[in-house]
Amino acid sequence: AQSVTQLGSHVSVSEGALVLLRCNYSSSVPPYLFWYVQYPNQGLQLLLKYTSAATLVKGINGFEAEFKKSETSFHLTKPSAHMSDAAEYFCAVSPSGSARQLTFGSGTQLTVLP
């Protein structure tokens, strides 16, 4: 069985500062990994995904994530936060890439301070 741990349910950064949202996973097989973003009063949308190709994955809105097998991590970063990045971010893992086996983390609420 797979699981996802997101460290920090709330993260605050200043506008222009580095964003770092942490995600660690456990999986019995090489996983597919995802980051989804949920803006206020909206559904989730895919930010980026890792599917065993390049370990550094670039997503939308300037976000990227690096797959580190030795650390079982898939942390999300953005060099410079913007006010519009304020949202809840979910890390998710699927052992086979199938959506029916997708397991979500508990989420991290990102606040961007002016």
Contact residues: another protein, CB under 8 A: 4, 9, 32, 34, 36, 41-46, 49, 51, 90, 92, 94, 97-100, 102, 104-107
Judged by beta carbon, residue 84 or residue 100, the one nearer another protein is 100
Judged by beta carbon, residue 28 or residue 70, the one nearer another protein is 28
Least gap, CB of 24 to another protein (angstroms): 14
Q: In degrees, to the nearest 5, what angle opens at C-alpha 18 toward C-alphas 38 and 49?
A: 45
Show Cβ contacts of residue 68 under 8 Å, excluding neighbours closer than 6 positions.
Answer: 55, 74
Least gap, CB of 97 to another protein (angstroms): 5
Judged by beta carbon, residue 63 or residue 90, the one nearer another protein is 90
Least gap, CB of 107 to another protein (angstroms): 5
**Cross-strand partners of 45:** 37
CA distance 23 to 101: 18
Judged by beta carbon, residue 49 or residue 72, the one nearer another protein is 49
CA distance 87 to 23: 16
CA distance 112 to 2: 31
Least gap, CB of 105 to another protein (angstroms): 5
DSSP reduced 3-state for 66: strand
